[in-house]
Amino acid sequence: MKEHTYRIVIPAAGAGKRMGADRNKLMLTLRNRSIIEWTLDVFEQDPACLEIILAINPAEQSWFEGITTPYKTPIRLVPGGRERQESVQRGLEALTEPGIVLIHDGARPFVTIASIQQVVEAAERTGAAILGVPIKDTVKRIDGDTIVETVPREQLMAAQTPQAFKLETIRSIHAKAATEFLGTDDASLIEWDGGTVTWVTGQYENIKVTTPDDLLFGEAILTKRGK
């Protein structure tokens, strides 16, 4: 089977406000290993990953240097920005080789190599692709404390990362959006610019560790996987 190579940008300069933590949530631990290490482990185990760019808070440089030293996959640390989008843009600017680039949440440590390869292959065909899963819950649109309507969930999916793009495309759109548009993910920048994005079915286990409850879910996933 053909190996679809890629480079990856991971914005890692967040403050962890929704986690209620007093530090970057990527420093929090699951089974005595930080969340970001669990995430890096996945890409370390994937021979198709050529390079990792971590966009970090410069004040945390020494901590990240310490945890990334053991990895064999090349990892570069670049200064992140105040917003996730700015951190991603700085990471993209650090890349020089053309090809597919992934953008991945550092707090999604449970993505699988199989899912990574699927989204990379999709981006090679279409130029932009993301992982996502169908919505399972009934979704309501609200106005204050009143339900306005029930949204057909057949038309909805929950976006995940990694999101995969041709480097030159996403880098140029990030530069354009820097002073005009702030998106919640990188696919939204493609949509804003009039482009199209395909989606590949991901896995429900590919959660983003955002709140304290997610740490419990993470422990359960690790137990299931025998980690």
- pLDDT tens string 191-201: 999 999 999 99
What is residue 14's predicted lDDT score, i.e. its pLDDT? Answer: 75
Question: Could you tell me if residue 169 is inside a domain?
Answer: yes
CATH no. for residue 176?
Answer: 3.90.550.10
In tens, the pLDDT along 104-115 reads 999 999 999 999
Cα Rg for the chain, rounded, in angstroms?
A: 17
Q: Are 24 and 216 in contact (CB under 8 A)?
A: no
The answer to whether residue 153 is domain-embedded is no
Strands (E), 19-127: 29-30, 33-34, 49-56, 75-79, 100-103
Instruction: Name the average pLDDT for the chain.
Output: 94
57 within a domain of the structure (yes/no): yes
Q: Flag whether pLDDT at 117 surpasses 80.
A: yes
Separation between Cα atoms, residue 105 and residue 143, nearest integer Å: 30
193 found inside a domain: yes
Cα(124)–Cα(165) distance, rounded to whole angstroms? 8
Q: How far apart are CA 199 and CA 215, in angstroms?
A: 27
In a domain, 148, yes or no: no
Task: Give φ, ψ of 111 to 5 degrees.
Answer: -65, 150
pTM given for the model:
0.94
User: pLDDT at residue 16 above 80?
Assistant: no
Average pLDDT over residues 121-138: 96
Nearest to 130 by CA among 106, 110, 158, 92: 158
Instruction: Give residue-wise pLDDT tens across range 70-97.
Output: 999 999 999 999 999 999 999 999 999 9
- Look at residue 137 and tell me if it is in a domain: no
Domain span at 78 = 6-129+159-224
Instruction: Show the 3-state SS of 124-172.
Output: HHHCEEEEEEECCCCEEEEECCEEEEEECHHHCEEEEEEEEEEHHHHHH
The answer to whether residue 138 is domain-embedded is no
Residue 163 lies in a domain: yes
Crossing angle of helices 35-44 and 113-126, rounded to 10°: 70
Q: At what angle do helices 167-177 and 84-93 cross, to 10 degrees?
A: 130
Q: Find where tokens 């699951």 sit.
A: 30
Q: How many domains does the chain have?
A: 1
